[in-house]
Amino acid sequence: MSRGKVKIYTDFYYQCQFLLNSTWGVPLVITVTALCLKKIGYNASEVTVGWCWVRIDAPDWALWMLLTGKIWEFLAYLTLPVLYILIKRHIHKAHVALSEYRPILASRPPSQFFSSMADVTLSLIPIIFIVLRIWSTVRFVLLLADSPVRQHPVLVTLHGIGNTSQGAANRIMFVLFTQPICSRLCTSLCCCCSKCRAEALRSDPTAATDETAPVVRSRTDDASLCDGLV
């Protein structure tokens, strides 16, 4: 292995380690600090749906709510769309460059279908995340404004569904919407439709004769028309 490849792999390893330590280390430090300072506790479901978070009677509850969650939500709302737009642009440029070298492969329908599915998935991921998480942010803003609307049953229900549905949304996007699963679902549905049609014809034989009757009549009409012309 050349030194250039070793350097690339080493840089990639350290980048992964940095991302792993950042994504797990920063929340761990904030959570342990909040626990040590006794900031975690009952908050009367002011901005949650039945679970404990930052104590609502703490004098600096707004600051700790921002540090333990809300500031990261605001950053995610801003950075996720930008990141996914950059990723889509990079994929589009790579696809264009690949099509120049492989025009036959790029023009194949499966390749186009896969590209369109990936493009739709990348477009929907930040949208779904924002739609699911926005309700908790709305309740937090209403809490800062001391508005009683934050306890509205519809808003609380949307908050509870959104905060607990991110795993289900990821499963739908990355499992059910993939090309193999979609192909299997389409095949299963087509098989079920064909079986149902065959059972219907088997149970009602007159349906088949009714379907073929217009064809027979049209043929006899055509024959009589030809005889008249002769």
Tens-place pLDDT, residues 67-122 = 988 998 999 999 988 988 888 888 777 777 766 665 555 455 555 555 566 677 77
Please give the span between the terminal C-alpha atoms of the chain, in angstroms, as a whole number: 86
Gap between the Cα atoms of 226 and 53, Å rounded: 87
- The CB density around residue 230, as the number of other CB atoms within 10 Å, is 5
pLDDT value at residue 99: 67
Tens-place pLDDT, residues 30-76 = 989 999 998 888 877 888 887 788 888 888 899 999 998 899 899 99
Gap between the Cα atoms of 142 and 218, Å rounded: 71
Gap between the Cα atoms of 205 and 91, Å rounded: 54
Mean pLDDT for the chain?
75
Residue 160 neighbours by CB under 8 Å, 6+ apart: 49, 50
pLDDT value at residue 197: 64
Backbone angles phi, psi at 49, to 5 degrees: -125, 70
Gap between the Cα atoms of 71 and 75, Å rounded: 6
Tens-place pLDDT, residues 156-194 = 899 988 888 888 887 787 777 777 777 787 787 787 766
On whether the CB atoms of residues 85 and 92 are closer than 8 A, the answer is no
Q: What is the pTM of this model?
A: 0.65
Q: Is the pLDDT of residue 212 over 50?
A: no
